[in-house]
């Protein structure tokens, strides 16, 4: 699998070089392939990206102590996991709307049960 286009941004954000980021990506992709058994599924890509972000943050923390004005650490993993939570909430909302629509439909037309 090709390296993700977000790789340079993550490298910059975690304070590592792009060359090191590419090595870490290959390591994460290899681990993901061993665990998932394939290299083209959404589970593979999600796992590989999560492992890569963990590797990049660990390496960035090991290599450089970054001074920050607010005292907060540049945490890419938090951003990635938050984005996943938000996208799952959108899916949960859509499922709930469909269930509400189905129950309203059955309430309006009790004799016409549509198999779900």
Please indicate, yes or no, whether the overall pTM of this predicted structure exceeds 0.75.
no
Residues 84, 67 within the same domain: no
Tell me: the pLDDT tens digits for 8-49? 988 988 889 999 999 999 999 999 999 988 888 888 988 898
CB burial class (10 A; 0-12, 13-18, 19+) of residue 23? middle
Please give the angle made by the CA atoms of 49, 51 and 56, to the nearest 5 degrees: 95
Tell me: the pLDDT tens digits for 65-100? 555 444 445 567 777 777 777 777 777 888 888 888
Residues 54, 79 within the same domain: no
Residues 44, 58 within the same domain: yes
Residue 27: the pLDDT is 94
Residues 63, 44 within the same domain: yes
Instruction: Give residue 108's domain range.
Output: 75-116
Residues 110, 58 within the same domain: no
Residues 83, 61 within the same domain: no
């Amino acid at each position: 699998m090709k390296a993700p286009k977000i790789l340079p941004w993550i490298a910059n954000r975690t304070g590592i070089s792009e060359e090191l980021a590419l090595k870490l990506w290959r390591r994460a992709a290899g681990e993901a392939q061993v665990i998932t058994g394939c290299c083209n599924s959404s589970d593979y890509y999600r796992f590989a990206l999560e492992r890569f972000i963990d590797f990049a943050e660990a390496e960035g923390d090991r290599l450089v102590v970054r001074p920050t004005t607010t005292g907060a650490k540049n945490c890419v993993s938090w951003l990635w996991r938050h984005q996943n939570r938000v996208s799952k909430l959108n899916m949960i909302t859509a499922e709930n709307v469909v269930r509400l629509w189905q129950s309203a439909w059955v309430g309006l037309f009790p004799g016409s049960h549509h198999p779900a």
